Amino acid sequence: DGGITQSPKYLFRKEGQNVTLSCEQNLNHDAMYWYRQDPGQGLRLIYYSQIVNDFQKGDIAEGYSVSREKKESFPLTVTSAQKNPTAFYLCASSKQVIETQYFGPGTRLLVL
């Protein structure tokens, strides 16, 4: 399961606060992804990046932002505009898109 890490494991957000979730990979993968998982539902794509300095919106990008300044890192910021942020957030990477994705251990975000 090594190679892709996420931190923190749990994160608490106060109303009106922006919080940033970390995702790092040492697999030399070009593509990285952020997903949101809600109870009883499948994963939904928030953002993805095919290459450094490039990223694209997924299906539920509103209220989230990302950056891809380094190949190894793809942080996700949950902004105050995201009104229902409580969920399990999963980061993944793959050599290229449409190839096997490897997931991180996830960050559970809770609202105080």
Interface ranges with other proteins (CB under 8 A):
1, 40-45, 48, 50, 56, 59, 90, 97-98, 100-106
Supply the minimum distance, in Å, between the C-beta of residue 103 and other proteins: 4
The smaller minimum CB distance to other proteins, of residues 80 and 103, is found at: 103
CB nearer to other proteins: pick between 18 and 53: 53
On whether the CB atoms of residues 40 and 105 are closer than 8 A, the answer is no
Contact 88, 10 (CB under 8 A): no
Does residue 22 sit in helix, strand or coil?
A: strand
**Residue indicated by tokens 């009106």:** 16
CB of 20 to other proteins, least distance (A): 20
